[in-house]
Amino acid sequence: MKKRILVTGGAGFIGSHLCKRLLNEGNEVICMDNYFTGSKSNIVDLLDNPYFELVRHDVTHPYFAEVDQIYNMACPASPVHYQYNPIKTVKTSVMGAINMLGLAKRVKARVLQASTSEVYGDPHVHPQPESYWGNVNPIGLRSCYDEGKRCAETLFMDYHTSNKVDIRIIRIFNTYGPNMNPDDGRVVSNFIVQALKGEDITIYGDGTQTRSFQYVDDLVEGTIRMMNTDNFIGPVNLGNPNEFTMLELAENIIELTGTKSKIIHLPLPKDDPKQRRPDISLAKEKLGGWEPNIQLKEGLTKTIEYFSKVI
Ligand code: NAD
Ligand code: UDP
């Protein structure tokens, strides 16, 4: 059945893929964005669709629309961008959550929060199951994002418990793919852009820190399944459990692009997590056997193809 769906942060990297998929499935989509890190170019192909509506709006201000579902994706996700104005980042997560929960309460919509593996901080438990409470510095460089997202989870749970709002929480692990901003600053886009331009590939620290990289299509599939699953509110991890060091990631990108770029090492940012890998058993069990299908080399190849066109 056709639904009216609000996607906040819809002009961003993940939001744009989500809007496209939801429209393709026959829904009406309102895409709300303030274009802080997102871009109209990500959704320009959708503008001809009469069931697509684009709204310039900041999620820290209340917003009203009659909708059935809300995907709350609005928030800068790259450390460079969320640290640019840390107070605004906290406001976006916390006031954005309050505004979207208030809207969901009023119109009786189901609302899904894009939370993050950052709620686990620099984890002492590896891989990370949803039951792990995390190891987060409350006053560090990453706190505006990590604690903002943790507080948003708290708000989602409390609106659910106190006001019976129909919520879903997903914890997204490092996700990459087409429509990432070339200046995004996250590792996959940085390395690919550097490789394609023949510039030095900048590994922060010794490159032994790990991340688990998920291709965006796998995330979108898991996210939509979570939104449409009954009797399970999460939080649920959505990520690819294959774990790589940043050195391995750089080597893969060097091989796939055939670049002559050299690896250089820059200082490791403070509080940079040493390891990250999702335990996805809960997602598999609750989301109809969901698991990532696209592995690193295939996903990187598609992403390299995209960046070759846009830079
Ligand atoms: P992104 O920066 O490409 O997208 C975020 C979008 O939100 C942008 O279009 C931006 O302009 C918009 N936005 C920011 N602040 C806003 C505000 N105050 N009002 C309205 N719009 C605002 O990042 P992304 O990777 O697509 O991330 C989307 C969501 O997923 C974010 O909430 C992020 O925290 C979460 N997430 C992403 C990852 C990942 O690896 N990509 C991992 C964990 C969580
Ligand atoms: N990183 C890097 N070079 C870059 C950008 C990032 O080595 O040009 C490292 C960063 O220090 C971190 C990892 O890559 O250890 C992932 O960083 P990203 O900003 O993509 O995401 P997050 O740290 O939030 O997982």
**Mean pLDDT of the residues in the chain:** 98
Q: If you average pLDDT over residues 278-303, what whole number do you get?
A: 98
Q: How far is the CA of 307 from the centre of ligand 1 (A)?
A: 19
According to DSSP, the residues that pair with 24 across neighbouring strands are none
**Domain range list for the chain:** 4-177+214-241+275-293
Which of 6, 8, 14, 93 has most ligand 1 atoms within 8 Å of CB, for mutation?
Answer: 14
* Span 50-92, pLDDT tens digits: 999 999 999 999 999 999 999 999 999 999 999 999 999 999 9
Model pLDDT, residue 230: 97
* Span 143-168, pLDDT tens digits: 999 999 999 999 999 999 999 999 99
Model pLDDT, residue 1: 84
Model pLDDT, residue 155: 99
Q: How far is the CA of 277 from the centre of ligand 1 (A)?
A: 21
Q: How far is the CA of 76 from the centre of ligand 1 (A)?
A: 4
Residue 257 gets the label, from left (phi > 0), alpha (psi -120 to 50) or beta, of alpha
Q: If you average pLDDT over residues 267-273, what whole number do you get?
A: 95
DSSP 77-133: -SHHHHTTSHHHHHHHHHHHHHHHHHHHHHHT-EEEEEEEGGGGBS-SSSSBPTT--
* Span 97-113, pLDDT tens digits: 999 999 999 999 999 99
Nearest residue by C-alpha to atom 1 in ligand 2: 187
Model pLDDT, residue 172: 98
Model pLDDT, residue 189: 98
Q: If you average pLDDT over residues 257-264, what whole number do you get?
A: 98
Question: From the CB of 269, is ligand 2 less than 6 Å away?
Answer: yes
Would you say residue 29 has pLDDT above 90? yes
Question: From the CB of 187, is ligand 2 less than 6 Å away?
Answer: yes
- The ligand placed nearest to the CA atom of residue 80 is 2
- Per annotation, catalytic residue among 71, 120, 145, 159: 145
According to CATH, the topology of domain 4-177+214-241+275-293 is: Rossmann fold (3.40.50)
Please say if 306 is a catalytic residue: no
